[in-house]
Amino acid sequence: MNLPSPVRASLLAALVAAAFAAPCALAGGDFVYTTREGDNLWDVALRLLKNPADWQVLQKANGVTEPRHMPVGLALRIPQRLLRFDASPAKVAAVRGDARRASGPLEAGTSLAAGEEVATGKDSFVALDLADGSRLVIQPESRLRLTTLQGSKAAGIYRTGLDLQSGRVENQVAKQKDTESGYRLRTPAAVIAVRGTGFRVAAESDQQARAEVTEGVVNVRGGKGKRVMAVHAGEGLLVASDARIAPAVALLPAPDLSGVPLLLDRVLMRFSFPDLPGAVAYRVQLAEDEAFRRVLAESVSRSPSAKFSGVPDGKLWLRVRGIADNGLEGRDAVRAVTLKARPEPPFASLPRPAGKVRGETVDFQWTNAEGASSYELQLSDGGNFSRPVQAADGLKATAWQSGKLAPGNYAWRVASVRADGDRGPYGDAVPFELRPTPAQPEPPAMDGDRMEFTWPAEPGQKFELELARDASFADSASNAVTRMKLAEPRVSLPRFDAGVWFMRVRATDPDGFVGPWTATQSFEVPASRPWWLLLILIPMVL
């Protein structure tokens, strides 16, 4: 022991003077130190006592006759009033959103001393680690003052005092050795003392307090009264603003999350679960860790559902609890889920949902998705994409044409792929109907001075017919286009002028679907001889 000579001499003289003192009894709640190899009484005093000269009090209280050579395993009882307690700052383990102390915003790794106050904004959380291993998470829109942060590291005894002025805090308290002080949390209406447990506390705007115990036992005392009530795991109670404590009641059971999907693939996450009898609302949280110290999002909903967006991909933890009509929050249900929503799929352009296409092939189009280097497309004929009818990957463009398909009902979907090969989720399946290619009209039948047009059709269809001198069907001075709307797949027209003409037909189905134009057909109207020419030719024949 490296002490100055005068101090060492003083300690030795006091030791000799007290060596013959009779032992005395000590009050309960003392700290018990078990001696180790090489311990002597003044070394123990230097390590544990705020005044090392009080080693003689220990000698007298414990009846130590050989302070220089104490046996291993000796139980020394040390009154807690003699122990040295040093400042034991709290450490900020995680911050989400807007969290501040008087000197400015909080960051992970920051140390907080006794006397400091932490305030959180909306959708904001702060996780604190205490020197004794206890942990707490300050919830959104809360104000918490750290009134006491002391510890005797050598003795393993810590004293924590917290003042929750408003809001909520969730606590996971390490087992305490200090039976007199330990971990105390005060609200305007109540004081809560614990020696190792998990519990939640809320200080309401009307100065009421709520306490909910998830494990262990807490003792709750009305802030203005002396009545103390023990609250066990699975119970909660209310403390009114006048310090009246209501009897503890059972918390609502945990909701059933077994139906929540384990994998979610949309940036907008949607959760739903069965209604919980007795619940008037639900608190739903998402976190990066199972202990919910790094909370990412929170929602309070009247219905058994929740929506979150802006959450990063990865493994997540979902926690849900019911809220009773008295405001007490029930037991937690926790479920691990995985979000894989990126790169996001593009938006489908063509064919549109429930759209119709005529032909033997289909042209697909979609938007360009951010972060996509290429695309994968799947085509199904019954909604079963495990066996797609056709598929394509490595598509660099935002368009693709299928191979030959039979008429029927189909669905398609497309996914984005990053340059490193990471494929995101497929977009929603887009159903469409493929109808047969429209039949081509036949050339008109010439009958004297009239032309008869007919073409194949389906029941209930209506038609558009275009006739022109030019295959472009563009109106011009030299090309007057004849356009007609018809209720039947036939029409009789006066004979056109001699020459080459062009025609095409487009059908509209009974459900309003407008099909494509048929391929352009050409036909020739032959020149007709005038009737008086026959009078000249008859005599020549005779």
pLDDT band (50, 70, 90) for residue 181: low
With a CB cutoff of 8 Å and minimum separation 6, the contacts of 208 are: 189, 238, 239, 240, 241
Residue 447: its pLDDT value, please? 86
CATH number for 5-82 (one of 1.10.287, 2.40.160, 1.10.3470, 3.10.350): it is 3.10.350
Are residues 59 and 41 in contact, defined by beta-carbon separation less than 8 angstroms? yes
Residue 1: its pLDDT value, please? 41
With a CB cutoff of 8 Å and minimum separation 6, the contacts of 314 are: 288, 338, 339
Roughly what angle, to the nearest 10 degrees, separates helices 55-62 and 41-48?
Answer: 120
Classified as helix, coil or strand, 48 is helix
Q: Read off the amino acid at residue 13.
A: A
Residue 223: its pLDDT value, please? 60
Distance of CA 53 to CAs 11, 58, 71, 80, Å?
Answer: 7, 10, 21, 15
d(CA 235, CA 29): 28
Residue 11: its pLDDT value, please? 39
Asked whether the predicted pLDDT for residue 15 surpasses 70, the reply is no
Q: What is the CATH number of domain 86-250?
A: 2.60.120.1440
408's torsion region: left (phi>0), alpha (psi -120 to 50) or beta? left
pLDDT in tens, 303-321: 999 999 999 999 999 999 9
Are residues 490 and 453 in contact, defined by beta-carbon separation less than 8 angstroms? yes
Residue 540: its pLDDT value, please? 44
With a CB cutoff of 8 Å and minimum separation 6, the contacts of 344 are: 267, 369, 370, 371, 416, 424, 425
Residue 530: its pLDDT value, please? 55
Tokens of 104: 């400015």
- Domain 348-435: CATH superfamily, name plus number: Immunoglobulins (2.60.40.10)
Are residues 141 and 121 in contact, defined by beta-carbon separation less than 8 angstroms? yes
With b meaning 16 or more CB within 10 Å and e meaning fewer, what string describes 174-204?
bebbbeebbbbbbbbbbbbbbbbbbbbbbbb
Question: Based on the number of CB atoms within 10 Å of its own CB, is 65 exposed (0-12), middle (13-18) or buried (19 or more)?
Answer: exposed
Of 22-31, 95-104, 357-366, 399-408, give the lowest mean pLDDT range: 22-31
pLDDT in tens, 243-274: 789 899 999 999 999 999 999 999 999 999 99
- Assess whether the region 348-435 and the region 445-525 belong to the same CATH fold: yes
Contacts 24+ apart (CB under 8 A), 174-177: 174/130, 174/132, 174/133, 174/134, 176/132, 177/31
pLDDT band (50, 70, 90) for residue 180: low
Q: Domain boundaries in the chain?
A: 5-82, 86-250, 263-339, 348-435, 445-525
CB atoms within 10 A of CB 158: 25
The DSSP call for residue 139 is P
Percent of the chain at pLDDT > 70 equals 90
| CA 379 to chain CA centroid, nearest Å | 31
pLDDT in tens, 78-89: 998 899 999 999
With a CB cutoff of 8 Å and minimum separation 6, the contacts of 443 are: 521, 523
Q: What's the chain's Rg over C-alpha atoms?
A: 43
Nearest partner of 505 among 444, 431, 432, 434, judged by Cα: 444
pLDDT band (50, 70, 90) for residue 297: very high
Of 58-62, 182-186, 404-408, 538-542, give the lowest mean pLDDT range: 538-542
Distance of CA 540 to CAs 462, 533, 534, 536, Å?
Answer: 52, 12, 10, 7
> Which residue in the block uniquely carries the two structure tokens 């999350």?
257
With a CB cutoff of 8 Å and minimum separation 6, the contacts of 368 are: 346, 398
pLDDT band (50, 70, 90) for residue 162: very high
pLDDT band (50, 70, 90) for residue 5: very low
pLDDT band (50, 70, 90) for residue 157: confident
Asked whether the predicted pLDDT for residue 226 surpasses 70, the reply is no
pLDDT band (50, 70, 90) for residue 241: confident
pLDDT band (50, 70, 90) for residue 479: confident
d(CA 239, CA 331): 20
Please state whether the predicted TM-score (pTM) of the whole model is above 0.85.
Answer: no
Residue 10: its pLDDT value, please? 39
Residue 21: its pLDDT value, please? 30
Give the strand pairing for 450-454 and 445-447: antiparallel
d(CA 57, CA 38): 21
Residue 22: its pLDDT value, please? 29
Are residues 230 and 219 in contact, defined by beta-carbon separation less than 8 angstroms? yes
pLDDT band (50, 70, 90) for residue 478: confident
Helices (H) and strands (E) in the chain, counts: 4, 43
Q: What is the CATH number of domain 263-339?
A: 2.60.40.10
Class level of CATH domain 445-525: mainly beta
Tokens of 18: 């007290």
Contacts 24+ apart (CB under 8 A), 213-220: 214/331, 214/332, 216/173, 218/192, 218/193, 218/194, 219/192, 219/193, 219/194, 220/190, 220/191, 220/192, 220/245
Q: How high is the mean pLDDT of the chain? A: 89
pLDDT in tens, 50-84: 999 999 999 999 999 999 989 999 999 999 889 99
Q: Cα angle vertex 343, ends 338, 349, to 5°? A: 120
pLDDT, average across residues 199-212: 89
Asked whether the predicted pLDDT for residue 338 surpasses 80, the reply is yes
